[in-house]
Structure 1
């Protein structure tokens, strides 16, 4: 009787491992390259970086061929993408599109830095970092431009100048922040590292 239970338990465990393995293999997202596709366009469509696309598909160049199938790496969750877009909207409303991309890039750079938390949510909600968290405007919906800017920042991830901070010099007198190396000025925002 014990042997029969052992055999049945073993078969069930093996079956569950097999089905889990097959389900994981089936969940890998792919993209068939179409005429006019570039790694940049594919990245924008899926919200993944060109660097990640290259790494996932063992590429050293940007060369792709019509009809080939590319694996699409995991991207950030829909929740984090929306949260980041809402932060971009609140921080860069009225700014040029490039400024929106740069704000999203700062958050992604912080996630990738050892100096900050390891997730978008933790970076955004880190105490005293972003005014929209303090004043509640983080909860307002994001515009289509802010959503697109987040996708572009995701595509560009890891290729910029490493900005970790941004500020509006007309709204802050923080000498520590102003002492950081300026990477770019876009509209009313100074970006720095």
Structure 2
């Protein structure tokens, strides 16, 4: 499912208006056992709304209040994933949300990598880099966390040359959200390289899937 541009604008607006969204509990395994329901405010409601927005279920701005819109978003998510439909974010709902989405910190890290690796590339090329990151997280051949994938030894040039630490432009965030929503222009690639600068013979031996901008993608 690809998020409509309106949905992406809502998320970006929330991110930039609220800054780093310091109220959202991120990367906290205890959220899996937390029950969040109608009437609750703040705390994990921020995280719930953020993850529902990523998947396009919540169209309204995040406000930290579990109201009717958030409850309906939870219900639609539960229906789509075969969960008990009660509008309450309990253990099973949280577990499924965590499998399908990423924390604010993870999105920030991915956006920084997209900016560092694909700055100047067409938007499709930015989405492709984000898709490779997600494909690696989901692959058994790579670390199973965003941080683990991004900082695996010699995995990304942007970490080595410091470009990862630059501030991303909005296009990088948009690319990450499009990849989360399922747009993978790489055809499930887990590698990419610039054929004009690649020095590894091994990378040429991998099965190439497509070329976007200056990058060849492979798996």
Q: What TM-score do the two structures reach when normalised by structure 2?
A: 0.60
- Equivalenced residues, count: 154
Q: Aligned to 1:24, what secondary structure does the other structure show?
A: coil
Are the counterparts in 2 of residues 109 and 158 from structure 1 also a CA contact under 8 Å? Answer: no
Are the counterparts in 2 of residues 104 and 153 from structure 1 also a CA contact under 8 Å? Answer: yes
Distance 1:133 1:88 in 2: 11
Q: Aligned to 2:80, what secondary structure does the other structure show?
A: coil
Q: Residue in 1 aligned with 2:215?
A: 189
Distance 1:84 1:56 in 2: 27
Higher strand proportion? 1
Match of 1:73 among 97, 100, 109: 97
Are the counterparts in 2 of residues 44 and 155 from structure 1 also a CA contact under 8 Å? Answer: no
Match of 1:126 among 149, 152, 155: 152
Unmatched tracts of structure 2, length 5 or more: 1-30, 38-43, 61-74, 83-92
Q: Which consecutive aligned stretches of 4+ in structure 1 deviate over 6 angstroms post-superposition?
A: 43-46, 157-160
Q: Residue in 2 aligned with 1:88?
A: 114
Match of 2:129 among 103, 108, 111: 103
Q: Residue in 2 aligned with 1:10?
A: none
Match of 1:24 among 32, 35, 46: 35
- CA drift of 1:42 comes to 1.4
- CA drift of 1:158 comes to 7.8
Q: Within the alignment, does 1:58 sit opposite 2:80 as a pair?
A: yes
- CA drift of 1:173 comes to 2.6
Distance 1:138 1:176 in 2: 24
Are the counterparts in 2 of residues 99 and 187 from structure 1 also a CA contact under 8 Å? Answer: yes
CA RMSD of aligned residues (A): 3.7
- CA drift of 1:115 comes to 0.3
**Larger Cα-atom Rg:** 1
Unmatched tracts of structure 1, length 5 or more: 1-19, 32-38, 47-52, 61-70
- CA drift of 1:161 comes to 2.1
Match of 2:139 among 113, 128, 136: 113
Are the counterparts in 2 of residues 44 and 151 from structure 1 also a CA contact under 8 Å? Answer: no
Q: Aligned to 1:100, what secondary structure does the other structure show?
A: helix
